[in-house]
Amino acid sequence: MDAAWFAIVSGMLAVYAVLDGFDFGVGILHRLVARTDEERRTILAAIGPVWDGNEVWLIAAGGVLFMAFPKVYATSFSGFYLALMIVLWLLILRGLAIEFRLHQTSPLWREFWDSVFAFASTLLAAVFGVAIGNLVRGVPIGPEGLRGMPLFTNFRVTGQVGLFDWYTIITSLLTLVALAGHGALYLAWRTDGPVRTRSQALARPLWLLAFALWLAASAATAWVQPGVFGSLMTRPWNLAFVALSVAGAWGILAYPVRGRDLAAFLSSCAFLFGLVGTALAGNYPYWLHSTIDPKWSLTASNSISASYGMRIALGWGAFGLLLALIYFTILYRSIRDKVALELDSH
């Protein structure tokens, strides 16, 4: 039962990385690929029907984590309190920027909110990369649990670590660049004209840099947390996530030169899903490694809720997940064409 719920929460986090990931990428590139007010409205129209729905996956993953692994939820929120407040405010600023931009026609007003949108999206991508790095590296859980973590300590990866060290900076840079490339491929698929041209021009160098950082992060992970790769090898079916990332990387480089924008974007989705899936599958059964003493680590088995409740929730959760998949399938089918900007559109 604990393995099933670990897979469910992990899957929801991977889906969130893919869906809200291209929203972040669009925001990161907002001021680079769109230079006129009409072009920037085109970008917002490209993500307008989906950006708030994509964020629901993060909320849902948090809710399921609270239900299935309350000890992990409580420990994470107490330890990552500062980081979570930063994420909350950035999500608020990002939503305000999208909604408030057209409330005034003043160029200064719109430039301000465009800058807020780009700033919040960039920092969110970086912070989520730091979160993944902390999940893989471990956190300083002791006999009293995990108290509030500082932003940084001595930049080492053992003992009383902070949110930032050399390893989490690498994972942060990887996430930032990969999501920017993800957003570029989404814009190349959904837009036309100068925005599409500039997005295509940025996508390839961004992804080449992301692949270099991917190799660097993989080598760093093998040194910081070698158990991740050992876990993958002892459960060969987990290597499917690695294969998915490799196939996605091939499609990211191959399909754009053939003019297959949708296939390139789907390859980007596959790469990111495989990347997050590899990290979480390799981490199993651990949710949070202790950098102080392994006996204080939180695993799926020592933090799961009562089994009877989890069995009941599994049935209802499967039904809810089916409804969500149907909804998102219909939604994304409805926006598969290029953005057609109307004069009065948001």
Query: Which CATH number goes with the domain that contains 273?
Result: 1.20.1630.10
- pLDDT of the residue at 249: 96
Among 231, 235, 271, smallest CA distance to 251 is for 271
Classify residue 147: in a domain, yes or no: yes
* 257 C-beta neighbours (distance < 10 Å), count: 10
Classify residue 75: in a domain, yes or no: yes
Q: Are 136 and 228 a contacting pair, CB within 8 Å?
A: yes
Classify residue 340: in a domain, yes or no: no
DSSP alpha helix (H) spans, the chain? 2-33, 37-47, 51-68, 70-79, 81-100, 107-137, 166-190, 194-224, 227-234, 239-254, 261-283, 300-303, 307-334
Count of domains observed in the chain: 1
The pTM assigned to this predicted structure is 0.93
Could you list the residue range(s) of the whole structural domain that residue 267 is in? 2-334
Classify residue 185: in a domain, yes or no: yes
Among 31, 49, 48, smallest CA distance to 40 is for 31
Classify residue 343: in a domain, yes or no: no
Q: Are 28 and 176 a contacting pair, CB within 8 Å?
A: yes
- pLDDT of the residue at 344: 53
- pLDDT of the residue at 167: 95
Classify residue 345: in a domain, yes or no: no
- pLDDT of the residue at 103: 87
At residue 293, φ and ψ (nearest 5 deg) are -155, 125
Structure tokens at 336: 């598969």
Among 3, 130, 150, smallest CA distance to 68 is for 3
Q: Are 235 and 219 a contacting pair, CB within 8 Å?
A: no
Classify residue 153: in a domain, yes or no: yes
Run means of pLDDT, 10 residues per run, the chain, 346 residues? 88 94 95 92 91 89 91 87 88 92 89 95 94 91 81 83 92 97 96 93 96 96 87 82 95 94 96 94 89 88 84 83 87 81 55
Classify residue 341: in a domain, yes or no: no
- pLDDT of the residue at 207: 97
Query: Residue 39, SS3?
Result: helix
